Amino acid sequence: MKTLHLLAVCAALVLIVSEAPGQDAATGEARYAETCINCHGKAGKGMASFPSIVGRDADYIADRLMQYRAREMVGPNSAIMMSWAEKLSDEEIADLAAYISATFQ
């Protein structure tokens, strides 16, 4: 009986791990096109006071988005990003980071 219970717990864990959210670049692309593209551009190069996000790795992008979401000042115009980042879930941040780091080289 104990073994069966253990097996059930293992199966549940495997399910949770395999359904771990995030890091889906295709979903990130769709999310990027909704809003981010308006300021950071189609190729991530930015414009005027909107910075380029080209050549950054996924961790960098995710860290930044989490900082903005936590309302931390990162640069002079962080307030602009905070209002966008506070709408993002952990999953959306992971998806966006995967898309941006893989696409904007």
CA dist., res. 81 & res. 70, Å (int)? 11
Distance in Å, CB of 80 to ligand HEC, minimum? 4
89 binds ligand HEC (CB under 6 A): no
CA dist., res. 77 & res. 39, Å (int)? 13
**Selected range binding ligand HEC among 7-15, 17-25, 36-44, rule: CB under 6 A:** 36-44
CB 45 within 8 A of CB 54: yes
Question: Which of 54, 66, 80, 102 contacts ligand HEC by CB under 6 A?
Answer: 80
CA dist., res. 42 & res. 103, Å (int)? 10
38 binds ligand HEC (CB under 6 A): yes
Question: Which of 25, 27, 69, 81 contacts ligand HEC by CB under 6 A?
Answer: 81
Distance in Å, CB of 31 to ligand HEC, minimum? 7
69 binds ligand HEC (CB under 6 A): no
Name the residue type at position 102.
A
Tokens 């219970």 belong to residue:
5
Taking the least distance from each CB to ligand HEC, the nearer of 27 and 40 is 40
